[in-house]
Amino acid sequence: MPLDAAVARVHARLWLQLANAGLMIGPHDLIVAAVAMHRRWVLATFNVAEFRHIRGLEVIEPQNDAGQFGTA
């Protein structure tokens, strides 16, 4: 998946918002969030807490192999 100028702009905006709020997330997670937001994807992750402060990003927690949400 290319990281083009449009994704870079979303990344920069997210970086600024999170840094100003003191809620910065990991650098790779920030890229994942930027791509998901740019493409209007829903982000499925077991690490919902890392992404919960990103306004406009829809995040879901998938079921694990035991049919439960989150980690067992």
Contact (CB, 8 A) for 41 and 59: no
| 65 located within any domain | no
pLDDT at 72: 43
Q: How many domains does the chain have?
A: 1
Give the structural domain span for 20.
Answer: 5-60
Within a domain: 33: yes
- The region of weakest confidence among 3-7, 35-39, 68-72 is 68-72
Q: Is residue 69 part of a domain?
A: no
Decide if 62 contacts 48 (C-beta within 8 A).
no
66: in domain = no
Residues 6+ apart with CB under 8 A from 63: 69
Is 67 a member of any domain? no
Task: Give me the CATH number covering residue 47.
Answer: 3.40.50.1010
Per-residue tokens: 15: 């970086």
Report the pLDDT value the prediction gives residue 63, as an integer from 0 to 100: 81
> Does the residue 68 lie in any domain?
no
User: What is the predicted pLDDT for the residue at 1?
Assistant: 72
Which position has the higher pLDDT, 29 or 2? 29
Residue 39 lies in a domain: yes
pTM: 0.84
For CA atoms 47, 25, 10, 28, give the dihedral sign: negative
Q: Within 10 Å of residue 50's Cβ, how many Cβ atoms?
A: 16
